[in-house]
Amino acid sequence: MPLSPPERTHAPFPAPRRRPTALLRARDRGWCVRANRWGARGVVRRYFATISRLGDGVFWYTLMAVLVVADGLAGLAASLHLALTGVVALTLYRRLKRWTRRPRPFTADGRIQAWVAPLDEFSFPSGHTLHAVTFSGVALAYYPWLATVLVPFTASVAVSRVVLGLHYPSDVLAATAIGSLLAGASLWLGSLL
């Protein structure tokens, strides 16, 4: 009786493993593609385009003016704190973008559509999200009751950046972390003065 070869329980050569960074980039791109498809729906695109436009600064400048009008000197103090923190956030995110030079999703992947025009060339981090998180953190320290407006608005700004094809989810997550740290540092420094 001839002997049969031993049964193989695995492939003769192991499958190549993806590096963790390559896997993360692929997932990041995949989530971006899926989110960006929602922008093809007119009502979704219009909502997020409007939120994005308000997040360019209009919403925050209006909030600062309303705080001054509604709360006098206390509102002025809060608005000055917001403005100073905003200048630091602007400087920081511009430097990070120039340093990382990450291409925007719609330029790197033909499946992703830019549903609105970007304000600049690079993707990392999301400046809109960084500002929204920073401003919300500082404003909520002064006026916690604004959470019912600021939390949904900030979340919508963050989501808008991915749906509109302008940022990867990792750009938004990094901006959220940076904005949270910046708001916290700003409030801590403010408490020392």
35 within some domain? no
User: What's residue 23's pLDDT?
Assistant: 85
Q: What local confidence, expressed as pLDDT, does residue 108 receive?
A: 87
CB atoms within 10 A of CB 92: 17
In the structure, what pLDDT confidence band is assigned to residue 22 with cuts at 50, 70 and 90? confident
Given a cut of 60, whether residue 66 has pLDDT beyond it is yes
Residue 54 in domain: yes
pLDDT of residue 30: 87
For residues 178 and 134, give the distance between their C-alpha atoms in angstroms, rounded to a whole number.
8
How many domains in the chain? 1
Residue 17 resides in a domain: no
Output the pTM of the full model: 0.86
Q: Return all residues near 86 (Cβ < 8 A) that are at least 6 apart.
A: 60, 131, 134, 135
What is the pLDDT, as a whole number, of residue 15? 55
Q: What is the pLDDT of residues 133-180, one digit of tens each?
A: 999 999 999 999 999 999 999 999 999 999 999 999 999 999 999 999
Q: Is residue 86 part of a domain?
A: yes
Averaged over 71-80, what is the pLDDT? 96
Q: Is residue 146 part of a domain?
A: yes
Least confident of 82-86, 115-119, 140-144, 168-172: 115-119
Q: Is 57 left (phi over 0), alpha (psi -120 to 50) or beta?
A: left
Q: Is residue 10 part of a domain?
A: no
Range(s) of the domain holding residue 111: 43-192
**Residue-level pLDDT at 9:** 54
Could you tell me if residue 30 is inside a domain?
Answer: no
Question: 178 or 19, which is more confident?
Answer: 178
Asked whether residue 179 is assigned to any structural domain, the reply reads yes
> Mean pLDDT over all residues of the chain?
90
Is pLDDT above 70 for 70? Answer: yes
Q: Given this model, what pLDDT does residue 8 score?
A: 53
Torsion sign, CA atoms 24, 169, 131, 139:
negative
